[in-house]
Amino acid sequence: MERSETFLSLVLDGLAVSVAVVSPCGDILYVNRTWIEFGRCNGEPESTDWLEINYLAVCKASADAGDRC
């Protein structure tokens, strides 16, 4: 199992698109290097622990603040 997780991480980190794996309740389970770089370019420190963030809560807060996309 460990080998397949490592392989999957290598594949996802090699993609040029941002990828986040999100649980049904919205918890971020994995982000690839492109996601981390996009966050860094948009003001997030590279040290951000994405696995402690609930993606759905962030989307709701953004929508409540008037963001459309």
| Number of neighbours of residue 55 by Cβ within 10 angstroms | 18
pLDDT value at residue 1: 62
pLDDT value at residue 46: 83
Q: How many whole angstroms separate alpha carbon 32 and alpha carbon 42?
A: 16
Placement of tokens 């459309």 in the chain: 68
Judged against a pLDDT cut of 80, whether residue 68 lies above it is answered with: no
pLDDT value at residue 69: 62
Backbone dihedral angles phi then psi of residue 22, each to the nearest 5 degrees: -120, 135
List pLDDT tens digits, range 12-44: 999 999 999 999 999 999 999 999 999 999 999
